[in-house]
């Protein structure tokens, strides 16, 4: 009996020990004594981010005011006529001798002011003066013959026959004809002498003298140039026949100068060339523009540019 009681006590003790171990080890619902391992984050490739789904609140859509579409600003069409030009005097003359000869004397210099009719230079006049002397002698002789014939007619006797009268009158007519011939020869000699003289046809400034005393000149060769520079004009050089028909006298123009970049002036069309000039198959017309102001710094043949506003 005692032995059985001892064995029962031992069994109870064993059961209690086993139960305690089980509870302590977490096998039967108790806290686990084993520490939780640290979790290692494993990267997820191309994993989309998961956000909580939020239901958007319903609110009225704002009214969008459309921006006005900007309109393209149109560039105004340039209808002006643009041309190259040169500065010229209001009046000018290129002078040449009507006959050839040797220059005898020059009476002016470049930059001299001259008046109309002023003598500029002469050719050798020896031959022409000699011709005038001969013509004068012929005139004197013819005059004497006329006077003698007139005396003969006046002194015819009252009883002179008709033949005598006719002979005296015929002699007078012949003397008068010779006098007319002598006078015409004298006039021709004097005209030839005048051709040895070069005179200015205008008021202006001597711009160029292209000859010296003792040099020979040819008829028609320009040797002196004179210009009236009291007023400058602007003359175009390349206005085509297609453009000139749009231009009229009085049209407004704007002028600039290559040598004076900071200077510009307005003007009006003063004249249009009647007859065009053909150059390399293109017909051009010179259009002359009168500036509204006088520019003393301008020089003959300076280059310019013009912009003409057609009125039509």
Mean of the pLDDT values across residues 211-216? Answer: 97
pLDDT of 71 over the 60 cut: no
pLDDT at position 285: 96
pLDDT at position 77: 80
Question: 100 by DSSP, 3-state: which?
Answer: coil
Starting at the edge strand found earlier in the chain, the sheet holding 216-217 runs 197-199, 119-123, 101-106, 216-217
pLDDT at position 216: 97
Place 279 in a pLDDT band, splitting at 50, 70 and 90.
confident
pLDDT at position 176: 95
Highest-confidence segment of 2-11, 14-23, 187-196: 187-196
pLDDT at position 312: 73
Place 78 in a pLDDT band, splitting at 50, 70 and 90.
confident
Cα–Cα distance, 311 to 268 (Å, whole number): 11
pLDDT at position 48: 43
Give the β-pairing of 222-236 and 113-114.
Answer: unpaired
pLDDT at position 58: 47
Place 83 in a pLDDT band, splitting at 50, 70 and 90.
very high
pLDDT of 60 over the 90 cut: no
pLDDT of 38 over the 60 cut: no
pLDDT of 59 over the 70 cut: no
Q: How many residues does the chain have?
A: 312
27-31, 86-90, 188-192, 239-243: segment of lowest average pLDDT: 27-31
- Between 18 and 257, name the one with better pLDDT: 257
What are 236's two structure tokens? 């175009």
Place 73 in a pLDDT band, splitting at 50, 70 and 90.
low
Locate the DSSP E strands across the chain: 81-96, 101-106, 113-114, 119-123, 197-199, 204-209, 216-217, 222-236, 239-240, 252-257, 264-272, 277-279, 282-285, 287-291, 303-309
Cα–Cα distance, 270 to 155 (Å, whole number): 71
Mean of the pLDDT values across residues 154-158? Answer: 91
DSSP label of 262: T
């Amino acid at each position: 009996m005692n032995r059985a009681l001892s064995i029962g006590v031992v069994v109870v003790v064993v059961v209690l020990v086993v139960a305690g171990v089980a509870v302590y080890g977490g096998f039967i619902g108790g806290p686990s004594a084993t520490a939780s391992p640290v979790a290692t984050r494993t990267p997820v490739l191309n994993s989309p981010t998961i956000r909580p789904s939020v239901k958007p609140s319903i609110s009225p859509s704002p009214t969008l005011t459309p921006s006005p579409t900007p309109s393209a600003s149109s560039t105004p069409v340039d209808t002006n006529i643009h041309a190259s030009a040169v500065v010229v005097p209001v009046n000018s003359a290129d002078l040449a001798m009507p006959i050839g000869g040797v220059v005898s004397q020059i009476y002016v210099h470049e930059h001299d002011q001259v008046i109309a009719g002023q003598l500029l230079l002469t050719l050798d006049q020896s031959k022409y003066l000699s011709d005038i002397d001969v013509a004068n002698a012929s005139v004197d002789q013819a005059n004497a013959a006329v006077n003698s014939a007139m005396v003969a007619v006046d002194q015819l006797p009252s009883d002179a026959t008709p033949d005598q009268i006719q002979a005296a009158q015929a002699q007078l007519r012949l003397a008068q004809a010779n006098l007319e011939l002598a006078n015409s020869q004298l006039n021709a000699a004097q005209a030839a002498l005048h051709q040895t003289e070069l005179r200015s046809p205008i008021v202006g400034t001597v711009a160029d003298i292209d000859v010296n005393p003792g040099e020979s000149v040819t008829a028609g060769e320009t040797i002196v140039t004179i210009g009236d520079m009291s007023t400058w004009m602007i003359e175009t050089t390349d206005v085509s026949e297609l453009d000139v028909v749009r231009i009229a006298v009085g049209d407004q123009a704007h002028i600039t100068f290559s040598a004076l970049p900071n200077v510009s002036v307005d003007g009006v069309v003063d004249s249009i060339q009647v007859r065009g000039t053909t150059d390399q198959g293109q017909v051009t017309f010179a259009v002359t523009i009168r500036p509204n102001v006088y520019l003393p710094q301008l020089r003959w043949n300076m280059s310019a540019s013009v912009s003409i506003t057609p009125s039509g």
